Amino acid sequence: MPSRARVLVLVALLLLAPALAAAATPRILSARVVAPSELRLRFSGALPRADAENFRLTTAREPDIPIAVQQVRPAPGNRFVLTFAQRLMPAEHYHLELVSPPIRREVQPSPWALLLTVMIAAAFINNFVFTRYLGLCIFFGVSKRRDTAIGMGITFTLVMIATAMLSWALDRYVLGPLRLGFLQILVFIGVVAFVVQFLDTMLRKTHPVLHRRFGIYLMLITTNCIILAVPLLNAQAGSGPLEALALAIGSGAGFALALFLMSCARERMEYARVPLPFQGLPIAFALAGLFALAFMGFSGLDFFR
Contact footprint for other proteins (CB under 8 A): 58, 61-65, 86-87, 89, 91, 125, 130-142, 144, 182-186, 189-190, 193, 219-220, 222-225, 227-229, 232-233, 236, 275-286, 288-290, 292-293, 296, 299-300
Q: Which is nearer to other proteins, 201 or 299 (by Cβ)?
A: 299
Question: Residue-wise over 109-143: b if at least 16 C-beta within 10 A, else e?
Answer: beeeebbebbbbbbbbbbbbbbbbebbbebbbebb
DSSP per-residue string spanning 123-181? IIIT-TTTTS--SHHHHHHHTTSHHHHHHHHHHHHHHHHHHHHHHHHHIIIIITTTT-G
- Minimum CB separation of residue 248 from other proteins in Å reads 16
Q: How far is the CB of 74 from other proteins (least distance, A)?
A: 26
Taking the complex as a whole, the smallest distance from the CB of residue 58 to other proteins amounts, in Å, to 8
DSSP 298: G
Q: Which is nearer to other proteins, 40 or 132 (CB)?
A: 132
Contact between 131 and 254 (Cβ < 8 Å):
no
Nearer to other proteins, 157 or 263 (CB): 263
CB of 46 to other proteins, least distance (A): 26
Of residues 45 and 66, the one with the C-beta less far from other proteins:
66
Compute the distance between CA of residue 251 and CA of residue 148 in angstroms, rounded to an integer. Answer: 18
**H or E, element range at 270:** none
| Nearest to other proteins of 272, 276 (CB atom) | 276
The rounded Cα 225 to chain-centroid distance in angstroms is 21
Strand bridging mode 55-59 / 94-98 = antiparallel
- Closest by alpha carbon to 96, among 24, 37, 41? 41
Cα dihedral 125/131/132/137 (nearest 10): 130
Q: How far is the CB of 9 from other proteins (least distance, A)?
A: 44
Q: In terms of residues, how long is the chain?
A: 305
**Least Å distance between CB 127 and other proteins?**
10
H helix intervals, 40-145: 111-120, 136-142
Nearer of residues 45 and 90 to other proteins, judged by Cβ: 90
- Give me the least distance between CB of 241 and other proteins, in Å please: 20
Nearer to other proteins, 78 or 291 (CB): 291
Nearest to 262 by CA among 160, 159, 127, 155: 127
